[in-house]
Chain A
Amino acid sequence: MLRVEALEVRYGDTIALDGIDLVVEDGEVVSVLGPSGSGKSTLLRAVAGLEPPVRGRVVWDGDDLTGVPPHRRQLGLMFQDHTLFPHRDVLGNVAFGLRMHGVPAAQAAARAGELLTLVGLAGYEHRRVAELSGGEQQRVALARAIAPAPRLLMLDEPLGSLDRALRERLMVELRDLFTRLGLTSLYVTHDHDEAFALADRVAVMHDGRIEQLGSPVDVWEHPANEFVARFLGYNVTDALGGGRVAVRPDSLRIDPEGPIAGVVTARTFRRDHFLLEVKVADAPSLEVAVTGDRIPATGDPVRLAADPAAIVPLTA
């Protein structure tokens, strides 16, 4: 079990992590979700021992790892952009961690072969890493990270540089792999689809702090504050009455009897719906997801109504 206690990391005067508390139970996948610059990569680096903290502790099963150098932590980290060793072939990359742990070469090669099969790259042993496609590099990086059987596998935007279709396929594969191997994981991403699809729990980060921690359903349905709501794509508005609330674009609908009057200022086609931007008097515009065959055009006046059950009140 990983326990992060009041962890603080600074780059000069900038506070990258501002007192992070987080627990990852054995076999659990926790996703750290946040925009770029929120400190999520720094969190992984600090847990791995690559960033010295100013304050706080990193603890594994009661052992304080804070002063332990990275190579003795027995944690795995899969870097953004994979960072494969360019001077080694695929096998050399995957077997690296095993060799560092004193596994004899033949045994390490055999184990690396098994892992390559696991990630769907059987027969790639002697390819040069520069010849691999983005998706293949990602798989090699994954095999390399799990080869020494780390106690905790950390992944930093592992699917970030891949195209959409590949990302969605690999998301399913990763989920499957986590379950099959019973991996304990900390998974960093800026994409909420990825976080919700893969994680048992989601931690939303902002400015070096965890804004909300909970199950994907919980976070998605009950954003804890304005930042989380906006980050997940909610409208944050005072126009519905009853103070500041968050409401998703698909919880608003066009209704001639609706209480909110506005004018359509933009219309965007989004595969299964249209997304309208509606200017409301004296308030910021609202985004409204509309389906059906009567879609208002830009400039049309509309009235809106909200599904009362989907309105999330925000405190401060």
Chain B
Amino acid sequence: MHASGVHTSPSARIDRRRVARGLLLAVPLAFLGVFFVYPVASIIGRGLTPGGTLDLSPLGAVVTDPHLRDVAWFTIWQATVSTALTVLVALPGAYVFARYEFRGERLVRAAVLVPFVLPTVVVGSAFLALLGEGGPLGFLGLDQSLAAILLAHVFFNYAVVVLIVGGLWSHLDPRQEDAARVLGAGRWQTFRAVTMPSLRPAIAAAAAIVFLFTFTSFGVILILGGPGYSTLETEIYRQTVQFLDLPQAAALSIVQLAAVVAVLLVAGRAQGRRAQALRLRASAETSRRARTAGERTMVGVNLALMAVLLGGPIAVLVQRSFDTAGGYGFGFYRALSELRRTSTVFVPPIEAVRNSVVFASIATVIALVIGGLAAFAVVGPGRRAEPARGLDTLLLLPLGVSAVTIGFGFLIALDRPPFDLRGSPALIPIAHALVAAPFVARVMIPVLRSIDERLREAAAVLGAPPGRVWREIDLPIVARAMLVAAGFAFAISLGEFGATIFIARPDYPTLPVVIFRLLGQPGPLNFGAAMAASVILMAVTAAAIFAIERFRFADIGEF
């Protein structure tokens, strides 16, 4: 009787799914292989075997050479202090956003995110405008000081803490705090015994990300630190560009890589602990208007802090870009097309605007394809697809590995067969896409995961074949996330500096490179032009970000 026959169809179906996933994966894996794994492997090779044979002296120099030892130590402790400061300053802000409603909240929320997506070069310029010679706070003498670096790091990462910690906080059930208060706990006791334990995983995750960002900080330190302050990142750049000591730069990159991997592992463990059972509620139910005088003061003080800390440097940057010797005007902006070519930039600065937009458009397309395919492959088709954990991690690695490492890797690996792309303009959008693709995947994966498998089943039962199910269900639902991801990728590419500085040639510089070059030139005209170029870069980036905010990325992103 055929009824008892064993069917082979289930396993055949699973095999087909494996093949489909393999095909989806092939493109991102090939891309990561050539443009990430191979350059990184080249760095490791160059660092360990500088003369063709194993030689650990460049690596050892990081410990024995007093200068390099100072660099490594400074990298660690400035990141630690920056992280602690950022969490301390931003935690009350996260609380205010999570628990209170106030007029203009949406606008303030969007504005707070702006510094985070600002190009590092613009952040550097803004703080230079504020604290440097001729700036409103120039009298403090903070130019080229540690304080300037730390302030810029807090400015830059404030949004990370607000997004991650505030995001969780706004979903915590305030009635748990009410319950503790009714049981006799004071405000401070309640915070320590009830709120803090729930928030701890989010704080740890946010701190890990801020640490990673500040540990690999490059543009900010290069511009604000001057010659006195050097991190591993800036030292890799100096060894490469000034001393042409590639083996030493490679050895520093290895140290940097190892440190980043260690931080990622620790952060991964903290993230794992996040999976505790919390009673979460819709954020709309957990926030309300400030009622008492104390609450209103809390909200007011934090909003004022945000205005001064986040708004101040940007306002001064804009002001100084118009503040020419002959009064306020567009002189510095005009100078962008009039300035003569220099030894480092062969074209008028204004051409960099066009370069940047073109590169960013190409990088966005590449990042969407690579990150999108990877996201679909990671989530996998079907309910019982085992999550591809290893792939998830591989995808995130370029996110952690510093841009400088990527740029340096391109420089030493892609200049000879089999991948001779030396001087090719294509390297720039590829490097940018490498930095942006993990963001794209990171934005899309949670959305794809959140799609109820039964929606696909419902579509299938209603007559949709598998390809049609993907087109009718997955694609429309994830489309919004893809738009958000595209905006991210575009903004990331516009502001990318660490990798670009290694591979951009003088005849097609990007805007951040031009700003950096202008800041390195003497005279108020060059400085003013740098301010003007920074304002233009900021405006283009802000346009991309405000386009995203219309799709409310704060509710989608998970990073």
Binding site for B on A (CB under 8 A): 5-6, 45, 48-50, 52-57, 66-67, 69-77, 79, 83, 85-87, 96-97, 100-101, 144-145, 148
Q: When the two chains form their complex, are residues B465 and A71 in contact, meaning their CB atoms are under 8 A apart?
A: yes
Residues of A within 8 A of B2 (CB): 57
Stretch of B187-195, B390-398, B470-478 lying at the A interface: B470-478
Q: When the two chains form their complex, are residues A50 and B459 in contact, meaning their CB atoms are under 8 A apart?
A: no
Cα-based distance from A50 to B459 in the complex (angstroms): 11
Q: When the two chains form their complex, are residues B461 and A50 in contact, meaning their CB atoms are under 8 A apart?
A: yes
Q: When the two chains form their complex, are residues A100 and B7 in contact, meaning their CB atoms are under 8 A apart?
A: no
Q: Using A50-B457, A55-B5, A77-B458 as known contacts, say yes or no to A71 and B463 having CB atoms under 8 A apart.
A: yes
Q: When the two chains form their complex, are residues B459 and A96 in contact, meaning their CB atoms are under 8 A apart?
A: yes
Which single residue of chain B is at the shortest CB-CB distance from A52?
B10
Residues of B within 8 A of A67 (CB): 7, 9
Which single residue of chain A is at the shortest CB-CB distance from B14?
A52
**22 sampled A-B residue pairs with Cβ under 8 A:** A48-B457, A48-B461, A52-B9, A53-B7, A67-B7, A67-B9, A69-B460, A72-B463, A73-B461, A74-B463, A77-B457, A77-B461, A79-B457, A79-B458, A83-B452, A83-B455, A86-B477, A96-B464, A96-B472, A100-B463, A144-B462, A148-B462
Query: B173 to chain A: closest CB distance in Å?
Result: 22
Query: A119 to chain B: closest CB distance in Å?
Result: 16
Residues of A within 8 A of B473 (CB): 85
Query: B188 to chain A: closest CB distance in Å?
Result: 40
Query: A55 to chain B: closest CB distance in Å?
Result: 6
Query: B458 to chain A: closest CB distance in Å?
Result: 5
Residues of B within 8 A of A83 (CB): 452, 454-455, 457-458
Total interface residues in chain B, CB < 8 Å: 27
CB interface residues, B 457-511, toward A, < 8 Å: 457-466, 468, 472-473, 476-477
Q: Per a CB cutoff under 8 Å, which of A55, A70, A71, A75 touches B4?
A: A55
Q: When the two chains form their complex, are residues B460 and A85 in contact, meaning their CB atoms are under 8 A apart?
A: no
Count chain B CB atoms within 10 A of each CB in A50, A54, A72, A75 and give the residue with the most: A50
Q: When the two chains form their complex, are residues A75 and B7 in contact, meaning their CB atoms are under 8 A apart?
A: no
6 more CB-based (< 8 A) A-B contacts, given A67-B7, A74-B463? A71-B465, A76-B461, A77-B457, A79-B454, A96-B459, A100-B459
Q: Using A57-B3, A70-B457, A83-B452 as known contacts, say yes or no to A96 and B462 having CB atoms under 8 A apart.
A: yes
Query: B461 to chain A: closest CB distance in Å?
Result: 4
Query: A183 to chain B: closest CB distance in Å?
Result: 16
Question: Hey, what's the 0/1 contact readout for B182-205 against A, CB within 8 Å counting as 1?
Answer: 000000000000000000000000
Residues of B within 8 A of A52 (CB): 7, 9-10, 13
Cα-based distance from A49 to B463 in the complex (angstroms): 12
Query: A97 to chain B: closest CB distance in Å?
Result: 4
Q: When the two chains form their complex, are residues B463 and A101 in contact, meaning their CB atoms are under 8 A apart?
A: yes
Residues of B within 8 A of A69 (CB): 460, 465-466
Q: When the two chains form their complex, are residues B464 and A100 in contact, meaning their CB atoms are under 8 A apart?
A: yes
Which single residue of chain B is at the shortest CB-CB distance from A147?
B462
Q: Using A56-B3, A100-B468 as known contacts, say yes or no to A70 and B460 having CB atoms under 8 A apart.
A: yes
Q: When the two chains form their complex, are residues A87 and B460 in contact, meaning their CB atoms are under 8 A apart?
A: no
Total of A-B residue pairs, C-beta within 8 Å: 86
Query: B20 to chain A: closest CB distance in Å?
Result: 15
Q: Per a CB cutoff under 8 Å, which of B3, B13, B452, B464 touches A71?
A: B464
Residues of A within 8 A of B4 (CB): 6, 55-56
Residues of B within 8 A of A5 (CB): 3
Asked if B6 is at the interface of the complex by the 8 Å CB criterion, the answer is yes
Count chain A CB atoms within 10 A of each CB in B2, B6, B7, B452 and give the residue with the most: B7
Query: A11 to chain B: closest CB distance in Å?
Result: 9
Query: A40 to chain B: closest CB distance in Å?
Result: 16
CB-CB nearest 5 A-B residue pairs: A52-B10, A100-B463, A97-B462, A70-B460, A77-B461
Cα-based distance from A70 to B476 in the complex (angstroms): 22
Cα-based distance from A57 to B461 in the complex (angstroms): 18
Question: Hey, what's the 0/1 contact readout for B5-44 against A, CB within 8 Å counting as 1?
Answer: 1110110010000000000000000000000000000000
Residues of A within 8 A of B465 (CB): 69, 71
Cα-based distance from A221 to B207 in the complex (angstroms): 67
Query: B106 to chain A: closest CB distance in Å?
Result: 20
Q: When the two chains form their complex, are residues A100 and B462 in contact, meaning their CB atoms are under 8 A apart?
A: yes
Residues of A within 8 A of B6 (CB): 54-55
Residues of A within 8 A of B462 (CB): 71, 76, 96-97, 100, 144-145, 148
Which single residue of chain A is at the shortest CB-CB distance from B2?
A57
Q: When the two chains form their complex, are residues A71 and B9 in contact, meaning their CB atoms are under 8 A apart?
A: no
Query: A72 to chain B: closest CB distance in Å?
Result: 8
Residues of A within 8 A of B5 (CB): 55
Which single residue of chain A is at the shortest CB-CB distance from B459?
A96
Residues of B within 8 A of A48 (CB): 457, 461
Residues of A within 8 A of B452 (CB): 83
Cα-based distance from A145 to B452 in the complex (angstroms): 18
Residues of B within 8 A of A70 (CB): 457, 460-461
Count chain A CB atoms within 10 A of each CB in B13, B463, B466 and give the residue with the most: B463
Query: A239 to chain B: closest CB distance in Å?
Result: 44
Which single residue of chain A is at the shortest CB-CB distance from B13?
A52
Cα-based distance from A21 to B454 in the complex (angstroms): 26
Cα-based distance from A214 to B201 in the complex (angstroms): 56
Query: A295 to chain B: closest CB distance in Å?
Result: 40
Which single residue of chain B is at the shortest CB-CB distance from A96?
B462
Cα-based distance from A54 to B457 in the complex (angstroms): 20
Residues of B within 8 A of A53 (CB): 7
Q: When the two chains form their complex, are residues B455 and A85 in contact, meaning their CB atoms are under 8 A apart?
A: yes
Residues of A within 8 A of B461 (CB): 48-50, 70-71, 73, 75-77
Residues of A within 8 A of B13 (CB): 52
Query: B385 to chain A: closest CB distance in Å?
Result: 15
Residues of A within 8 A of B455 (CB): 83, 85-86
Residues of B within 8 A of A86 (CB): 455, 477
Query: A100 to chain B: closest CB distance in Å?
Result: 4
Cα-based distance from A79 to B476 in the complex (angstroms): 21
Cα-based distance from A53 to B465 in the complex (angstroms): 20
Q: When the two chains form their complex, are residues A54 and B7 in contact, meaning their CB atoms are under 8 A apart?
A: yes
Cα-based distance from A5 to B473 in the complex (angstroms): 33
Cα-based distance from A75 to B458 in the complex (angstroms): 11
Cα-based distance from A69 to B462 in the complex (angstroms): 12
Cα-based distance from A144 to B459 in the complex (angstroms): 10
Cα-based distance from A45 to B337 in the complex (angstroms): 68
Cα-based distance from A260 to B452 in the complex (angstroms): 55
Count chain A CB atoms within 10 A of each CB in B6, B459, B466, B477 and give the residue with the most: B459
Cα-based distance from A6 to B473 in the complex (angstroms): 34
Query: A51 to chain B: closest CB distance in Å?
Result: 9
Residues of A within 8 A of B454 (CB): 79, 83
Cα-based distance from A56 to B3 in the complex (angstroms): 4
Cα-based distance from A144 to B237 in the complex (angstroms): 62
Cα-based distance from A100 to B464 in the complex (angstroms): 6
Cα-based distance from A83 to B13 in the complex (angstroms): 24
Q: When the two chains form their complex, are residues A148 and B7 in contact, meaning their CB atoms are under 8 A apart?
A: no
